Structure 1
Amino acid sequence: MLSLPVEPTAHRIIIFPLTEFQNLHYVAGPDDDVSLVFKWMTSGNTNLTASKGDGDIELKVSEKSVEVFEEAIEQIGALVAGRRLFEMTHGWGGKHPVNAPVVVVTHRPAPEWVKADWPVTFTNSIESAIEQAKAIAGDKKVAIASTTILHQCLRAGLVDEIHVDLVPYLLGAGVRMFDTLDAPIELKSTSIIPSTGVTHLTFRIVK
């Protein structure tokens, strides 16, 4: 993932979702089906291992996508997620594939299955989540991984950068990404990386 330079003491809040071509609307199909959205991760010619707490994920992507993934791991210092995604992934087994601590926004107590040594924090607001994630990330970036959380952060003006992995499918229905904005948001394209089955796009939010 390519992005604008970051000063050592600055924080950049970024969105790191996956989506598809139809007006950048969908991050998943009906019933949370992500088979087409993630198909590019098994369509390349280069092996890539993404490690989670409950086991490795063996991927096959293009060399360019490997570079994007490795740069994301290097740059992201903390990740903010919603309760729904955290539970759907079972907390990534205690280790997210980008190998960064996770801050979960929720109004309920932590699930009983969360282990004490997992690098995860629970808080009840996006403002608190972003502040805690900034403190954890240090001079690295904070990534937002959940659709509902990114909606709230966009409306609150907390996002600096958007990274989109654009795949060539028209899902027609599913989980939408940008349909609850209060007003248009101007973007400036900073990076376009064509790859096998996906185009990696990065935009800076004009403020």
Structure 2
Amino acid sequence: MGTVIMHSVASVDGFIADENDGVGPLHDWYFSGDVPITGDRDGQYDHSGSGSGFRVSSASAEYVRPMWQEIGTIVMGRHMFDLMNGWEGQPPTGDHVVVVSHRPKPEGWHPEASYHFVDDVKAAIDKAQELAGERTVAVNAGEVGGQILAAGLVDEVAIDVVPVVFGSGKRYFGSIDGQHLLEDPHVVIQGGRVLHLRFRVRPS
């Protein structure tokens, strides 16, 4: 099975959004560089400068591009699904999405999309790994991500730290209780207006 990575962009003080789900400048670095992250299905990248897709610094692209290409399944909470309307059935990366929710998929919503709704975090990871095979399972940070980490189901934590202080809002780890030790970061990359960090979760 592939690695389970909890991932999101966060402020220096550990928030992924404000109280109203606004992200402010957290995602600006995704659109402020010269190098595209994603290409077409044949892996070809548009270097002409046209289009409005993700374009980051070269340092960020060297880190983010292979990471995104390895993702097979995204795991997200229902709040984010509703907020984004599930990216209209087309996630930014990966082939499948698992939504942790006590409510089913909205009736008639993009029946062609590989989105699966489960009501338990362990069941969500089991389904995500089944769908991903040897590829990575990417868990969105926040309340659901914190629950998955607390359940001992996360292998690595990846944080893209942006130089802004929010002061309050939605926390990267949600309302997780207790201490959870991580190893020293095995990835430390400085991009344009972002610092990429990855930590392996220390077994309890």
TM range (shorter): 0.7 to 0.9
For the 8 Å contact 2:145–2:174, the answer to whether it is kept is: no
Pair 1:15 & 2:14 matched:
no
Instruction: Kindly state the Cα deviation for residue 88 of structure 1 after the two structures are TM-superposed.
Output: 0.9
Report the RMSD for the aligned CA atoms in angstroms: 1.8
- Structure 2 segments unaligned to the other structure (5+ residues): 41-50
Instruction: Kindly state the Cα deviation for residue 153 of structure 1 after the two structures are TM-superposed.
Output: 0.7
In the other structure, the counterpart of 1:198 is: 194
For the 8 Å contact 2:182–2:200, the answer to whether it is kept is: yes
- Structure 1 segments unaligned to the other structure (5+ residues): 1-9
More strand per residue: 1 or 2? Answer: 1
Aligned partners of 2:69 and 2:58: how far apart in 1? 17
TM-score by length of 1: 0.86
- Residue from 58, 70, 73 that aligns with 1:75: 70
For the 8 Å contact 1:50–1:57, the answer to whether it is kept is: no
Identity %: 32
Instruction: Kindly state the Cα deviation for residue 184 of structure 1 after the two structures are TM-superposed.
Output: 1.3
Pair 1:39 & 2:28 matched:
yes
Aligned partners of 2:60 and 2:5: how far apart in 1? 18
Aligned partners of 1:50 and 1:185: how far apart in 2? 36
Matches within 5 A, 1:1-207: 10-22=1-13, 25-48=14-37, 57-178=52-173, 180-188=175-183, 189-207=185-203
Equivalent position SS for 1:58: coil
Aligned partners of 1:140 and 1:47: how far apart in 2? 22
For the 8 Å contact 2:142–2:174, the answer to whether it is kept is: no
TM-score by length of 2: 0.87
The one-letter code sitting in structure 1 at the alignment partner of 2:188 is: I
The one-letter code sitting in structure 1 at the alignment partner of 2:193 is: G
For the 8 Å contact 2:12–2:164, the answer to whether it is kept is: yes
Instruction: Kindly state the Cα deviation for residue 154 of structure 1 after the two structures are TM-superposed.
Output: 1.3
Equivalent position SS for 2:102: coil
Runs (4+) off by over 6 Å: none
